[in-house]
Structure 1
Amino acid sequence: MSLFSRVLRSGEGRKVKALEAIVPDINALSDATAALDDDALRARTGEFRLRLENGEDLDDLLVESFAVVREAAWRVIGQRHYDVQMMGGMALHLGWVAEMRTGEGKTLVSTLPAYLNGLSGRGVHLCTVNDYLASRDAEWMGQIHRWLGLSVGLVVPDARDRVQKRAAYASDITYGTNNELGFDYLRDNMAMSDAEKSQRGHAFCIVDEVDSILIDEARTPLIISGRLSEAAALYQRFAAVVRGLEPDHHYDVDEEKGIVAPTEDGVHAVEAALGVENLYDQVSSNLVHQLQSALKAKELHLRDKDYIISNGEVRIVDEFTGRVLEGRRWSD
């Protein structure tokens, strides 16, 4: 049984100690690694990849690769990983959640498992919460990876060109936001051929602020809607209609349950405004759903609380974090 197999099988209380026990092995390589000149240090990337081709796995390379990244980080950006950061990097490589306090250098920690898994050539995704952090880390920490011979890509909402995106996803390490990575996955599932897809697969991912992305923001689904121009016209039509409706007469509101239901008088008023005989007969137009959505928008979605208007666009505000959810739309 390998060292990392024993770590994975150990109890929660022993896992940290097991990782701590590996740190001296990495530290033992510090002097030899520091003695390498730049060309020799960069050449280790090719050596690691050759060893992978010859049958070794990523776990076999962890100790040596972490020592290489630590030395490269010191030479390129003037920062050296502490022992606790080495432990954090091992935890991420093993697929665990690593909690680190502000100022403990989690951004630097990510370079360790990102480099190690990037050696496989299958791609690594580094997922963060906003465009600024993705761009910053791709430039800042990307210096280390590029210096060591790995390619680095960046995926943000501004990058809409398919060729550009395919190139970013084809990189050894790809930085991006959770929204853009998720929407690209949905777009790829709508593609008619592999040539229209951007992503190439999903091998290893590091998620920054995992509690926010996988818990808080996961409450708001990512949805791609079709026939946007037609839908927008229908939304505007119903928004104008519901402005003339009165609460308690045309509809009832239950704020606690988040429900707005039209009354019989309200349905008749809408039918008259739309010029239809029976709202519930218009199944293909989905008018009942549009009415309920418009009523909810009027009564339950409050400006500057649930959403803001920025540059003429509606941007949803997360009810739990207060952050603007870039690229999000309400599912209904």
Structure 2
Amino acid sequence: DEARTPLIISGPSDEATDKYYKADAIIPQLRKGEEVDGVKTGDYLVDERQHTAVLTEEGVDKAERLLGVGNLYEPSNMELLHCVEQALKAHTLYRLDHQYVVQDGEVIIVDDFTGRLMKGRRWSDGLHQAVEAKEGVKIEKENQTLATITLQNYFRLYEKLSGMTGTAETEAAEFQSTYKLDVIVIPTHQPMVRKDFSDVIYRTLPEKWDAVVEEIKECHDRGQPALVGTVSVENSELIARRLQRDAVPHNVLNAKFHEREAEIVAQAGRKGAVTIAT
């Protein structure tokens, strides 16, 4: 699940953290713009597809006034400029209960692919500190990377490898090319009874959520256990609120309730059970 995430050994640096609060304070005063026919408006531009947020020339001028500096691009101010750029990303590209959660005064990353909390992991290059400033929690000192290795290269250090998973067959070619491992499929004890239906497309998100909730209620009413998969903590809680409004009992398994995973999974197959998971 975490093959995209390198293993990193890091150590704390001695840089001050107050600069992140200073940069964070000006972001709400900047105005989002857009680029039309090559003309940039506003103080900053956001491209969610490319995952970028950048200041316009107008935005740089405004940031300099708000920060009380003459030129952000002077060598003495480059560190502050970097903090402003990271603060802008934190406010425009990173959302609470989507890419991260806040628990016990700590910003914890949520894995995009598994929906699980990545405790002990931190974004690099000052981004984590920028998110901490945004959420008003204690800013931990930035770590500097001392050593890094990908999981693929780490596994190659072992002479023998084996494993078991329910999703290996579709990646058999990659297991062979990367690790020189064969994939053996163990047949199910009982014949497959699952039916796969075609995708259904809705015009708007509200229509989609209405249809999802209606189908969940139908499953619950006939006693069929329902497992609802979502792509984010935010979506799982949105469905949970709608079910709560309609008095449909349910359990939520997301990054916020990870410690209850075993308990929730154990009850998921009971008659009429509704489980929402990321």
User: Structure 1-normalised TM-score?
Assistant: 0.33
Q: Which has the higher strand share?
A: 2
User: Structure 2-normalised TM-score?
Assistant: 0.39
More relative contact order, 1 or 2 (CA 8 Å, 6+ apart): 2
